[in-house]
Amino acid sequence: MLQHQGSLDLAFQALSDPTRRAMVERLSRGPASVSELAAPFPMSMSAVAQHLKILEASGLVASEKSGRVRTCRVDPRALSAAERWINGRRLSVERSLDRLGAFLDETRDEEEFPK
């Protein structure tokens, strides 16, 4: 669990930056070279490489070099772990809201039809 928690922390830390989220968004449509990923951003290739280093360390992105071209792709396993964590929190909140709704319905029924 501790290792899972650490990887989840790294994933959310990596996704906390809008540039890295945009890169993951682009890579979710398919693999791209570092140059293709860098094109929309007004930053140096060195800065792009730093962002990619963080994404790779988090496990969200994997890359491979073929000749002079480094191609990046999303690793869906890391995204799935983050999605499972978020869905777990969402389900917990939904259950709480369902219980609150049921309580309010009971309270309203008791006010409308006193015993």
Average pLDDT, the chain: 88
- What percent helix, strand, coil does the chain show, rounded to 5? 70, 10, 20
Residue-level pLDDT at 3: 45
Q: Which residue has the higher pLDDT, 93 or 49?
A: 49
User: 74 is in which domain, residue-wise?
Assistant: 2-112
- pLDDT band (50, 70, 90) for residue 2: very low
Q: What is the pTM for the complete model shown? A: 0.74
Tens of pLDDT, residues 4-23: 557 889 999 999 999 999 99
Residue-level pLDDT at 40: 95
| CA proximity to 53, closest of 44, 64, 62 | 62
Provide the domain count of the chain.
1
Tens of pLDDT, residues 20-52: 999 999 999 999 999 999 999 999 999 999 999
CATH code, 30: 1.10.10.10
- Decide: 60 and 77 in contact? Cβ < 8 Å: no
Region 95-104 average pLDDT: 78
Region 76-82 average pLDDT: 87
